[in-house]
A and B are shown apart, each in its own frame.
Chain A
Amino acid sequence: GAGVSQSPSNKVTEKGKDVELRCDPISGHTALYWYRQSLGQGLEFLIYFQGNSAPDKSGLPSDRFSAERTGGSVSTLTIQRTQQEDSAVYLCASSGMRTDTQYFGPGTRLTVL
C-alpha cells in the first residue's frame, strides 16, 4: 500500500505487561514520528527519527517508553510495564526529505486494563 500502516489496530493488555506497536512508513520517507492522542486530548509528541541522525526523544513521557527504527524504515514503539494512563491512540506519521507534510497512519488504540 502507499500509505502509512500501523499494527495492531487495537491492543488490549493488562496492567504491567509490555506492548510493542509497529509502524510502516511510506517507502522512501526519511522522517518518522510517533504521537499519542488520549481521549479528548490533542496530539502529544513522543519521538521522531530523521534519517541516520540521533532521534529526538524529548517527548517520551517516562523511561518505560522506547522506540527503534530499523534500517531506516519500520519503527517499533515499546511500552514496558504498562499503566492505565498509557491507554490512548498511538499515531505514527512519516514525511519525505523535501516535504514537511506528515502522512499519518490509522493509529493503534491501546487499552490497559
Chain B
Amino acid sequence: AQSVAQPEDQVNVAEGNPLTVKCTYSVSGNPYLFWYVQYPNRGLQFLLKYITGDNLVKGSYGFEAEFNKSQTSFHLKKPSALVSDSALYFCAVRDQGTGGFKTIFGAGTRLFVKA
C-alpha cells in the first residue's frame, strides 16, 4: 500500500529566504507524486506533479520539487518565500504499479512566512 510522510507539522521561514517542505513516500511500483496547497478559507489547489522524466519539476507560483528515487523523497522548494505563500501544503502519491487512481495524501505541513 502506498503512504506519504510529511515529517514537519510546521515550517517557519522569513520572507525572501528559501523554503523547503519535506515529503517522503512509499509505493510498490513507480510513483506519481503531487503537491497541493490550501490557502486559508480556500479550496485545495494543484501546485505541481511528477509523473516521469526530468526529476526537477516546476510548478505554479515559483515552486519546484525534486524527485529523488533513491531517497524516496519529493521535497517542495522555493528560492525566495513570500508572505502570501503562507498556507497548508499537502504531498500526495499514487502508485503507478497498481494501475489504480487511489491517491494518498500526507498529513500536511503548515508554512508560515514572516515579513
Contacts and interface: CB of A to CB of B under 8 A. Distances in A.
A106 interface: yes
Which residue of A45, A93, A102 has the most chain B CB atoms within 10 A of its CB atom? Answer: A102
A42 B108 contact: yes
B49 A100 contact: yes
A66 interface: no
Interface stretch (B11-19, B68-76, B94-102): B94-102
A105 B90 contact: no
Contacts of B105: 35, 42-45
Contacts of B102: 45, 48, 56, 58-59
B44 A100 contact: no
A75 B83 CA distance: 37
Q: Which of B6, B32, B44, B46 has the most chain A CB within a 10 Å cutoff?
A: B44
Interface in B85-115: 90, 92, 94, 100-108
Q: Which label, helix, strand, loop or mixed, suits the secondary structure of the B interface?
A: strand
Q: In which size bucket is the chain A interface?
A: 20 to 34
A100 B34 contact: yes
B66 to A, nearest CB: 19
A100 B49 CA distance: 9
B106 A42 contact: yes
A45 B90 contact: no
A62 interface: no
Interface of A: 31, 33, 35, 41-45, 48, 50, 56, 58-59, 91, 93, 95, 100-107
Q: Which 6 A-B pairs have the closest CB atoms?
A: A42-B107, A43-B105, A104-B44, A42-B108, A101-B46, A104-B43
